[in-house]
Structure 1
């Protein structure tokens, strides 16, 4: 992990397209502004993890249904 120190108003550039700017620091809270191309998705980590979990949960029934279908086909072909 790269660790950088920045003050209010200072920025960090990532790959020529993404700019992180420190907007304010108040106690334990840091406000960060992010400028990035529209095709770049930006999420808070807890939201990103929630989306990933929802995707896993929605895919799980499909896998179960697929396994049940494969079992039925195997049984039908063995008779």
Structure 2
């Protein structure tokens, strides 16, 4: 892992197309501005992990319990009509 120190208004570059700029610093929070081509997906870590987990479940055929319950309910409703 590369660790850099930057001040407000300073930035770093990743390759020729990505720039990460320190927009604001407020206590223990830092606001980042990211300029990158549209074809590059940018996610917060927790969102990325949730997407990966859902993709993994979909690939193995495992559906979350709430989805399974909704499917069972739909099947029951269809039967009852």
TM range (shorter): 0.7 to 0.9
SS in structure 2 at match of 1:23: strand
In angstroms, what is the RMSD of aligned CA positions?
1.1
> What is the CA–CA distance in structure 2 between the aligned matches of 1:30 and 1:49, rounded to whole Å?
21
Equivalence for 2:35? 35
Equivalence for 1:15? 15
> What is the CA–CA distance in structure 2 between the aligned matches of 1:59 and 1:9, rounded to whole Å?
43
Larger radius of gyration: 1
Aligned pair count reads: 62
Any gaps of 5 or more consecutive residues in structure 1? 63-79
SS in structure 1 at match of 2:61: helix
SS in structure 1 at match of 2:30: strand
Q: Give the TM-score of the pair, scaled to structure 2.
A: 0.74
> What is the CA–CA distance in structure 2 between the aligned matches of 1:6 and 1:37, rounded to whole Å?
23
Equivalence for 2:56? 56
**For 1:17-58, what per-residue CA distance to the aligned partner results, in whole angstroms no more than 9, with x for missing partners?**
000000001111000000000100000000000000000111
Runs of 4+ in structure 1 deviating by more than 6 angstroms, as ranges, are none
